[in-house]
C-alpha cells in the first residue's frame, strides 16, 4: 500500500469528471487500498479518486470514531434522497476551510464494492453528507464551489494568503 498525493484546491485536475469503472481488477483493489490508507493517514472521513488524480468513480468513506468502518463505493448512484441536513463540511483538498451546505439528510445509494459486487446502502447524517460530498468530487466539483460567488471569493483569498505564508 502507499500514501497518495492529495490534490489541493484550486488545482484544475479537481475539475475533471470521473469515468465509471468497467473492470474490477487488481489495480482497482490496489487503488482502493491506497485511497483508504491515504484517507486514514490524513485523518479524513472521505476521499474520492479525483482527489488523488485518478479519474474513476471510486470513493472511500469512514465516519466512525474508531476508524474501523470503511465503506467503498464504486460507480455510486443516488437512487433516493430526502430531508435537509446542515452538517459542517471540510475537505482534504481544501484544508482549514469548513462550510455548511444544504445536503440531503438521507440518501439511498446503489454502488459496487472493489470486487464488483453490487449493493445498496442507506445512509443518514454525516455518512449521507460525506457520500454526497465525495460524489461531487467525481463530477469535478469541490464543495466550496456550491457556495455563493462572494463566499468563494473570500475563501480563495484566504487560501492565497495561507499559500503565501507557507511559501
The catalytic residue positions are 134
Residue closer to Ni ion by CB (options 27, 139) is 139
CA 151 to CA 166: how far, in whole Å?
23
Contact string 56-75 vs Ni ion (x = CB under 5 A) = --------------------
Site for Ni ion in 89-108 (CB under 5 A): 91
* Residue 153, CB-side half-sphere exposure with 13 Å CA sphere: 3
DSSP reduced 3-state for 67: coil
Q: How far is the CB of 41 from Ni ion (least distance, A)?
A: 15
Query: Do the bridges between strand 106-112 and strand 99-100 make them parallel or antiparallel, or are there none, so unpaired?
Result: unpaired
Residue 127 engages Ni ion in binding (rule: CB under 5 A): no
Which residues of this protein are in contact with Ni ion, per CB under 5 A?
91
Amino acid at each position: 500500500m502507499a500514501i497518495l498525493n492529495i490534490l489541493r484546491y484550486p488545482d484544475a485536475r479537481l475539475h475533471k469528471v470521473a469515468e465509471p469503472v468497467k473492470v474490477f481488477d487488481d489495480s482497482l483493489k490496489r487503488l482502493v487500498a491506497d485511497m483508504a490508507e491515504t484517507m486514514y493517514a490524513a485523518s479524513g472521513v472521505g476521499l474520492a479518486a479525483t482527489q488523488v488524480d485518478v479519474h474513476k468513480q471510486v470513493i472511500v468513506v469512514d465516519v466512525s470514531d474508531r476508524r474501523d468502518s470503511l465503506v467503498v463505493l464504486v460507480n455510486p448512484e443516488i437512487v433516493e434522497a430526502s430531508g435537509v441536513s446542515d452538517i459542517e463540511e471540510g475537505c482534504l483538498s481544501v484544508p482549514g476551510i469548513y462550510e455548511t451546505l444544504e445536503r440531503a439528510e438521507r440518501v439511498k445509494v446503489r454502488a459496487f464494492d472493489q470486487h464488483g459486487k453490487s449493493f445498496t446502502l442507506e445512509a443518514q447524517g454525516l455518512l449521507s453528507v460525506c457520500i454526497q460530498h465525495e460524489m461531487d468530487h467525481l463530477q469535478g466539483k469541490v464543495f466550496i464551489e456550491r457556495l455563493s460567488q462572494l463566499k468563494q471569493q473570500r475563501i480563495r483569498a484566504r487560501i492565497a494568503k495561507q499559500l503565501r505564508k507557507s511559501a
